[in-house]
Amino acid sequence: MCENPLRALPKMDVLLSHPILLSARERIPYTLVRQAARDKLEEVRRAALAGAGVPPLEALAGEIAAAAQTMSRPGLKRVINATGVVLHTNLGRAPLAPRAAEAVMAVAEGYSNLEYDLDNACRGSRHSHVEALLCSLTGAEAAMAVNNNAAAVFLMLSALAAGKGVAVSRGELVEIGGAFRVPEIMAASGAVLREVGTTNKTRLSDYERAVLSGEAQALLKVHTSNYQIVGFTEDTPLSQLSGLAAAHDLPLLCDLGSCVLTAESLPSLPAAPSAAAALADGADVVCFSGDKLLGGPQAGIVLGKKRYIDAMKRHPLARVVRIDKLSLAALEATLLLLRAPESAREALPLLSMLGARPEELRARAEGLAAGLRKALGEDYTVSVLPCTGQVGGGSMPNEELPGFCAAVTAGPGVPEGLETAFRRHAVPILCRIHHGALLLDVRTLSAEDEGEILRAAEAVRGRNR
């Protein structure tokens, strides 16, 4: 007669009273330890029924304590970006300025005047905290902010073009990350897409035909921020479209996606689109992201003529997509910094990274490489190499950022093993592998990041001894 394999399973109360788990319960909530124990016992039970043995009690307790520890930690955590991609969408895009982070903390720790008018002792508007700033910086008549630019586009079309034909160039039917497509968002908003021109050439006459035929009652210009069409091409600029829109009293809408407020905001990238320039060229409404070239938090920023912005504020969707108080605090702080472009280039991490000079980057790469040589030991070869970074975030895809990196090219488990060790460090370090070398691009690193990288390297060396 075969013995029941489940008899070797420890009872729950015996398992939970093991010294390892009693110690774990001093720093981890009991409910998590108990859940981890239940999960582990179920896993072992299934394995035992399949013919596997039951691990010793001490081994089980250790695995349960480790699982409970993992369950108690937040999934969203700080990581170190050593990829050289400044606006890395997977890593949260633009890091906030210290002053913006402080503004978030100040609002998060207590109550705020989010929708309260302190001067008149009555209900206020959350838009008031950034509207005047945005208008003074760009020359817009009115402004508002929502939770991201996709929401801004959807609200703009829903409030101003639902049931109307909207003329869009075939070359501007953009798809951004997450399968967000202009034709689909237009359909969902109730606007009717009227494609004009061709993929590579769209002239003013193409828009005119759609307007004169009665097919289009609004015009939409979409900036192709994540790709470029080159070669035999022709585009219709906003300055030409504005005349057509004004002549027929049609709204001219513009989705810039990723842009700066003014050309002075980011002189290191002269080709960056500007919200102020789009308004000056005659756009009635302009929308763009806050966490891309602006260097702020996730937000959808909307600028334009007051009658159109007011209509968007009154639309039922405005409440659905409204910006939260923490993002609003960070956005206001970022805009306050942008009022002084010269000092903003030092205060905003995004501007510092994009404006970093090659000689500065080389010196920093040499310092990091020297530290890595000492931390990793003689088994590794570390050098300084030129490299090319990216703006990222669907912004300026053909803009290369020449810089320098520390490259680890020889040693145990290089490059894949070292990349894994860095990625699994207490503060995960994200880097890239190129031609058999592990590259750490210093453009996207702070001094604090570099110190953490050296601590991770020392840990790797300790494990290899």
pLDDT of residue 416: 86
| Residue 383, H or E segment | strand 381-392
Which band of pLDDT confidence, cut at 50, 70 and 90, is reported for residue 170? Answer: very high
Q: Residue for token digits 């959808």?
A: 300
Is the predicted pLDDT of residue 231 greater than 90, yes or no?
no
Amino acid of residue 156 = M
pLDDT of residue 465: 66
Domain with CATH 3.40.640.10 in the chain: 98-347
Domain with CATH 3.90.1150.180 in the chain: 80-88+353-464
Give the Å distances, CA to CA, from 126 to 75, 95, 276, 333: 30, 23, 23, 14
Render pLDDT for 25-65 as a digit per residue (tens, 0 to 9).
999 999 999 999 999 999 999 998 888 888 899 999 999 99
pLDDT of residue 1: 42
**Tell me, which fold does domain 98-347 have in CATH?**
Aspartate Aminotransferase; domain 2 (3.40.640)
Which band of pLDDT confidence, cut at 50, 70 and 90, is reported for residue 162? Answer: very high
CA dist., res. 408 & res. 192, Å (int): 54
Q: Which of 11-20, 35-44, 48-57, 128-137 has the lowest mean pLDDT?
A: 48-57
Size of the chain in residues: 465
Residue 391 contacts residue 365 (beta carbons within 8 Å): no
Render pLDDT for 312-368 as a digit per residue (tens, 0 to 9).
999 999 999 999 999 999 999 999 999 998 888 899 999 999 999 999 999 999 999
Q: Which of 1-10, 23-32, 195-204 has the lowest mean pLDDT?
A: 1-10
CA dist., res. 39 & res. 32, Å (int): 10
Nearest Cα residue to 251 out of 203, 304, 301: 304
Question: May I ask the CATH architecture of the domain 80-88+353-464?
Answer: Alpha-Beta Complex (3.90)
Render pLDDT for 382-411 as a digit per residue (tens, 0 to 9).
999 999 999 988 787 778 899 999 999 877
Q: Categorise residue 231: left if φ over 0, alpha if ψ from -120 to 50, beta otherwise.
A: left
More confident residue, 269 or 248: 248
Structure tokens at 82: 């050593």
More confident residue, 426 or 225: 426
Q: Residue for token digits 């016992």?
A: 41
Amino acid of residue 13 = D
Other C-beta atoms lying within 10 Å of the C-beta of residue 311: 17
pLDDT of residue 175: 82
Concatenated DSSP letters of 107-129: HHTS---TTEETTTTEE--TTHH
Is the predicted pLDDT of residue 429 greater than 70, yes or no?
yes
pLDDT of residue 152: 96
Other C-beta atoms lying within 10 Å of the C-beta of residue 106: 12
pTM value is 0.90
Is the predicted pLDDT of residue 118 greater than 50, yes or no?
yes
Name every residue whose Cβ is closer than 8 Å to that of residue 105 and which is 6 or more positions away in sequence: none
Which band of pLDDT confidence, cut at 50, 70 and 90, is reported for residue 7? Answer: confident
Is the predicted pLDDT of residue 2 greater than 60, yes or no?
no
Burial class (CB in 10 A: 0-12, 13-18, 19+), 51: exposed
Buried/exposed code over 392-427 (b: 16+ C-beta within 10 A; e: otherwise): bbbbbeeeebebbbbbbbebeebbeebbebbeebee
Render pLDDT for 232-254 as a digit per residue (tens, 0 to 9).
888 899 999 999 999 999 999 99
pLDDT of residue 35: 96
Render pLDDT for 440-455 as a digit per residue (tens, 0 to 9).
999 999 999 999 999 9
Q: For the chain, how big is the Rg over CA atoms in Å?
A: 28
Structure tokens at 190: 């109730």
pLDDT of residue 347: 94
